[in-house]
Amino acid sequence: MQEQLDRMELKLIALEGKLDAVYQSSEKMRKYFMWTLIITVGAIAIPLLILPAVIPGFLASQGVGLGF
């Protein structure tokens, strides 16, 4: 009976180690996904916010070149 308990305890210790490894891996992936989201939103949102301020000036300069 004691031998079975010892084997179960060893298996539990091994499982705890694997569980810790999975937790660390999932935390790394969570951080990677978070930074990917931040960079993607920045790459899309920032140009969309800047374009309305830049387009009128660009169109005005094009109109001057065409004689309008």
- The model's pTM is 0.62
The domain of 33 spans 1-68
pLDDT digits (tens, 9 = 90+) for 20-54: 999 999 999 999 999 999 999 999 999 999 999 99
The DSSP secondary structure of 5-65, one letter per residue, reads: HHHHHHHHHHHHHHHHHHHHHHHHHHHHHHHHHHHHHHHHHHHHHHHHHHHHHHHHHHHHH
pLDDT at 58 over 80: yes
Number of domains in the chain: 1
